[in-house]
Amino acid sequence: MYVCDTDPLSLSLSLSLSLSNSYNAMKMDGLKEERVLILEAWRDMESESLQLELKGSSREHLSTVDNKFPKKIKMRRTLDNGIDEEYFDYIFPDDEKKFGKSLSLCFL
């Protein structure tokens, strides 16, 4: 039987750091849907840490993750065969900071 001798706070901090690093790696690779999945897992972990009242967990950590969530917008594109297709795209707040507010104005 495996026994974990690491305290929950250390595990929580380690997982938070791993999720943050994964998020940044996906951001660098332009993988938007994967970033959303990581943010969902990260938010769940921060919420659970708060519920367990782990020392070091805070609403600020949860708020930091929540503020990274993108706006989901419906887009339309014409495929090679001439058929129009609707799809969803994501505009992340940290991408808006990089490109300025003009990025979100393009999709209004």
Query: Domain boundaries in the chain?
Result: 7-68, 70-108
For the record, the structure tokens of 99 come out as 């490109």
2 pLDDT exceeds 70? Answer: no
* Cα 82 to the center of its chain, rounded Å: 34
- The mean pLDDT value for 84-108 works out to 75
pLDDT band at 1 (very low <50, low <70, confident <90, very high): very low
**Both tokens assigned to 59:** 């609403």
Reply yes or no on whether the pLDDT at 91 is more than 70: yes
Separation between Cα atoms, residue 80 and residue 85, nearest integer Å = 11
pLDDT over 90 (residue 73): yes
Tokens of 32: 């938007």
The per-residue pLDDT for range 13-38, each reduced to its tens digit, is 788 899 999 999 999 999 999 999 99
Query: Rounded to an integer, what distance in angstroms lies between the CA atom of residue 86 and that of residue 28?
Result: 25
